[in-house]
Chain A
């Protein structure tokens, strides 16, 4: 098969590390062949992002033996032994894209604006709304303090009343906000509200800001139209924010597609996978400062950023928000509480250290469970159906008590849970990653688990977004093939029956039929966790839950499906939902130790 694209170079400029990957067409598929990394060089003394990019690419050159650079230029196209056909990049360096959004009603246009900004890969610094309880001068002070990269203003349905959205525009005008980077350009403002107010908005904001007007984000109450705002945010990110950051003009001239904000690229990849496979997906990236969660349920994409839940810079905030007791409940030994808080504090002020002792590792993974749990709670609260929508209610709706604004996240529906970020991707044992994902997200029914080993999703996301006609088919094929084969490490599948069950009672009978025809029966009992090693191969499964217990087909209903093993294998989780730990210390420690032992989570020794 002849391919227009034979090789692809992709980089992701993170706040600390710039990562480069080389993808090549080999043996009838696109493969990740080499990767390199180097410190990001946005800040002093270098102040030129391209230096870090060149260093990372040089590492790829050294490993692959392929000449990619000619001085500080990327050689294109691929001519056999040198050059690459396309080069793409994402960036979250310099704090990423920071936005402020405004809407008339906080839970309606405000939330839609927030969803658009988050979906585009931004951090939302604040949501202003007419009904947010703050007085005009308080809002003005806040806008001035924050100095966002851009503002998205929405509000009102098309043709409706313009007063409220104009009030917000006047507040913005009075604040006369300055952009974060550079004193010499006007702050980009996107207006995505009531089309009837467009002229007045131009009069009020046209002079003091760099105003763009796009289609209403909420043209009618029942409909959300995020695409035009998201696209405009991406354009402005390139034109304004990136253009102000050191070295980015040069980087932009090298790439074959616009540079995307890192989380925006990850989101679009996850959205594409969910659509292509017709599955529900949750993806999480836990970093040092923030935790990003992406989900696709019922075909709807959502992203949230928990700005202060992370494993180093914000580790103390995890402690503050969850409470020390919630962290300690995952630790199977007694520890001096004040010494522990000092240790965690020291991780915050020296964020690059790694756990040397087993005790330190266990504590770090306990904190990760809480950071993930809290981030997911925030995500579930945000990923809802549209609020403020009137719908006709039938008698059955009345019985179900369903209303607008319900969370779309349904753990029983979840098919694939993907984790990434240091604590999940680099855990010494994959069993530890699986346990952290299960304990914090608490999947129900049948759920496949995976980790993105080297956080390649950003580069694949921008690849999947190439829209040049002659390249886009090959580029998206490359993104999907590398995602399936090289990016994800399949941990295995978790089977979790849920429902009211007595302690130690039987929750389900599971029959596994393997490829070679052998059959194995397993009983899942309440309070237990079991694991069976099995590689990433198909297994037919038949599950008969006990009365009142559900595994996905309804209470007491049997279910047949096909599942896959992985580097960890098949996990049978009888710990019901939510996972509860005994208040009594010795009982709690016994449970933790038996679960760890069942999945071979930690090395055997004094502690385990």
Chain B
């Protein structure tokens, strides 16, 4: 049977979800292999080097850079407090001295005789990494962090904003075709993750922000509304660092697009359960898609759907059209002709014959996405 490989987004009912939880710099790992983790468990911590202050001692004291050493009252590596004298001139018969005080608490990192500058390092900044999802420690990466493993349902979105959030899943839209409106968002949804249908307006997102909803999963959002949320035009899809209380995960794309049936029903099945979500997206080499992880209570999991080899598009596969015309529609592959076909644009491409609502269409294979499920 002819088939073509088109990577799709994952919608998995039950999988072994693995995640690296790694420090930005080397440090201490606080858990060991096999430990059971809550999302809040701190798994590793370290200290980032503190901020640096540079003092132009030679300029302040009006002396030559090479004379700075003589004027110093401290040594390299010495701890100092704010207000401590760092350097002082001898003055005239001990009078008319001028001096330089430390503007911060920290240590003297270095002294330069070429430029007459003294470098002060402020106190280290502690950094901690939590588990993010409940599970167990599968592997310890020495001095760096861990790899966590969890039995979970796992869904990828196409695009998201804001980083990691946690909350219980609440179903708001009663079908994948329904818009999630501002009126439906109420104060008791604080800290929850809301499941919407086809669309979320800017007004509804703002309402969610105002009641501190933890996250929203929805089919579509308008591209031009992102500017009002982010404060700038989103030029490249690299997100995750936005300081927003409500993470947004769009599962289908920009515009009003019904959430795929598989995604919607899996979310619906898990209503009331705790989920961890991350809106971070990076569409470049090393693609990162936003994710929804719902840990499942089952000690022994017999199906590991993620480890299945990705299947290419085959006759009978369910696919979604990801570019106009027919954008967002779901269909079934009828055939995969091997020869190139000329499109209306005169582009010569490999196509798939797709049945959508009882009608057949020829669509470039590059414009199709596998709807990957573990059913």
Is B322 a contact of A170 with CB atoms below 8 Å? no
Is A353 a contact of B344 with CB atoms below 8 Å? no
Is A356 a contact of B235 with CB atoms below 8 Å? no
A-contact bits for B182-225, CB 8 A (1 contact / 0 none): 00000000000000000000000000000000000000001110
Interfacial chain B residues near A163, Cβ < 8 Å = 65, 114-115
Q: Which residues of B from 38 to 86 have beta carbons under 8 Å from A?
A: 49, 51-54, 65
- Closest CB-CB distance, A384 to chain B, in whole Å? 26
Q: Does chain B have a CB within 8 A of A338?
A: yes
Beyond A314-B236, A348-B236, A350-B322, is A167–B115 a contact (Cβ under 8 Å)? yes
Is B237 a contact of A313 with CB atoms below 8 Å? yes
A345 to B158, CA, bound (A): 11
A166 to B233, CA, bound (A): 39
Q: Does chain B have a CB within 8 A of A381?
A: no
Is A361 a contact of B347 with CB atoms below 8 Å? yes
Beyond A174-B52, A289-B284, A349-B283, is A357–B345 a contact (Cβ under 8 Å)? yes
Is B117 a contact of A137 with CB atoms below 8 Å? no
Query: Which of A167, A345, A351, A361 has a CB less than 8 Å from the CB of B223?
Result: A345
Is B283 a contact of A353 with CB atoms below 8 Å? no
Query: Which of B49, B110, B237, B324 has a CB less than 8 Å from the CB of A170?
Result: B110
Question: Which of A317-325, A396-404, A461-469, A552-560 interfaces with chain B?
Answer: A317-325
Nearest B residue to A362 via CB reads: B345
Interfacial chain A residues near B255, Cβ < 8 Å = 339, 342, 346
Interfacial chain A residues near B109, Cβ < 8 Å = 174
Is A428 a contact of B51 with CB atoms below 8 Å? no
Query: Which of B25, B110, B285, B347 has a CB less than 8 Å from the CB of A173?
Result: B110
Query: Which of B117, B158, B285 has a CB less than 8 Å from the CB of A167?
Result: B117
Is A603 a contact of B346 with CB atoms below 8 Å? yes
A15 to B323, CA, bound (A): 23
Q: Does chain B have a CB within 8 A of A591?
A: no
Is A316 a contact of B253 with CB atoms below 8 Å? no
Total number of A residues with any Cβ neighbor in B under 8 Å = 62
Query: Which of B54, B114, B366 has a CB less than 8 Å from the CB of A137?
Result: B54
Is A429 a contact of B223 with CB atoms below 8 Å? no
- Closest CB-CB distance, A187 to chain B, in whole Å? 14
Beyond A204-B112, A308-B235, A346-B254, is A338–B224 a contact (Cβ under 8 Å)? yes
Query: Which of A94, A140, A176, A354 has a CB less than 8 Å from the CB of B347?
Result: A354
- Closest CB-CB distance, B145 to chain A, in whole Å? 12
Most chain-A Cβ atoms within 10 A of its Cβ — which of B53, B159, B347? B347
Q: Does chain A have a CB within 8 A of B229?
A: no
- Closest CB-CB distance, B349 to chain A, in whole Å? 6
A346 to B224, CA, bound (A): 12
A289 to B282, CA, bound (A): 12
Interfacial chain B residues near A314, Cβ < 8 Å = 235-236
B-contact bits for A171-205, CB 8 A (1 contact / 0 none): 10111101000010000000000000100100010
Q: Does chain B have a CB within 8 A of A91?
A: no
Interfacial chain A residues near B121, Cβ < 8 Å = 174
Q: Which residues of A from 87 to 108 have beta carbons under 8 Å from B?
A: 93-95
Nearest B residue to A176 via CB reads: B49
Is B345 a contact of A355 with CB atoms below 8 Å? yes
Interfacial chain B residues near A289, Cβ < 8 Å = 236, 284
A579 to B255, CA, bound (A): 34
Interfacial chain B residues near A167, Cβ < 8 Å = 115, 117
Q: Does chain A have a CB within 8 A of B325?
A: yes
Interfacial chain B residues near A317, Cβ < 8 Å = 233, 235-236
Q: Does chain B have a CB within 8 A of A79?
A: no
- Closest CB-CB distance, A80 to chain B, in whole Å? 34
Interfacial chain B residues near A176, Cβ < 8 Å = 49
A289 to B348, CA, bound (A): 23
Interfacial chain A residues near B26, Cβ < 8 Å = 183
Interfacial chain A residues near B254, Cβ < 8 Å = 341-343, 345-346, 349
B-contact bits for A259-300, CB 8 A (1 contact / 0 none): 000000000000000000000000000000100000000000
Is A341 a contact of B224 with CB atoms below 8 Å? yes
A343 to B345, CA, bound (A): 17
A-contact bits for B170-186, CB 8 A (1 contact / 0 none): 00000000000000000
Q: Does chain B have a CB within 8 A of A162?
A: yes
Is A344 a contact of B283 with CB atoms below 8 Å? no
A166 to B121, CA, bound (A): 19
Beyond A174-B54, A349-B237, is A313–B366 a contact (Cβ under 8 Å)? no
Interfacial chain A residues near B367, Cβ < 8 Å = 353-354, 356
Q: Does chain B have a CB within 8 A of A360?
A: yes
Q: Does chain A have a CB within 8 A of B343?
A: yes
Query: Which of B54, B117, B237, B285 has a CB less than 8 Å from the CB of A94?
Result: B285
Interfacial chain B residues near A171, Cβ < 8 Å = 54
Is B52 a contact of A140 with CB atoms below 8 Å? yes
Q: Does chain B have a CB within 8 A of A352?
A: yes
Query: Which of A346, A351, A358 has a CB less than 8 Å from the CB of B345?
Result: A358
Interfacial chain B residues near A183, Cβ < 8 Å = 26
Interfacial chain A residues near B325, Cβ < 8 Å = 356-357
Q: Does chain A have a CB within 8 A of B274?
A: no
- Closest CB-CB distance, B135 to chain A, in whole Å? 20
Is A355 a contact of B347 with CB atoms below 8 Å? yes
Beyond A346-B255, A358-B344, is A137–B236 a contact (Cβ under 8 Å)? no
A196 to B52, CA, bound (A): 27
Is A352 a contact of B112 with CB atoms below 8 Å? no
B-contact bits for A136-175, CB 8 A (1 contact / 0 none): 1100110000000000000000000011001100110111
Q: Does chain A have a CB within 8 A of B286?
A: yes
Q: Does chain B have a CB within 8 A of A43?
A: yes
Q: Does chain B have a CB within 8 A of A67?
A: no
Interfacial chain A residues near B237, Cβ < 8 Å = 313, 316, 348-349
Most chain-A Cβ atoms within 10 A of its Cβ — which of B54, B235, B286, B363? B235
Q: Does chain B have a CB within 8 A of A528?
A: no
Is B223 a contact of A137 with CB atoms below 8 Å? no
Nearest B residue to A323 via CB reads: B233
Interfacial chain A residues near B284, Cβ < 8 Å = 95, 289, 313
Nearest A residue to B282 via CB reads: A313
Interfacial chain B residues near A347, Cβ < 8 Å = 323
Q: Does chain B have a CB within 8 A of A16?
A: yes
Q: Does chain A have a CB within 8 A of B147?
A: no
- Given A345-B254, A350-B158, 10 other A-B residues pairs in contact with their CB atoms under 8 A: A43-B285, A140-B51, A167-B117, A174-B109, A314-B235, A320-B233, A320-B235, A341-B224, A342-B224, A360-B324
Some 11 contacts from A to B, beta carbons below 8 A apart, are A43-B286, A95-B285, A137-B52, A319-B235, A342-B223, A342-B253, A354-B343, A356-B343, A356-B344, A357-B324, A357-B325
4 nearest interchain CB pairs? Answer: A317-B235, A345-B223, A320-B233, A428-B346
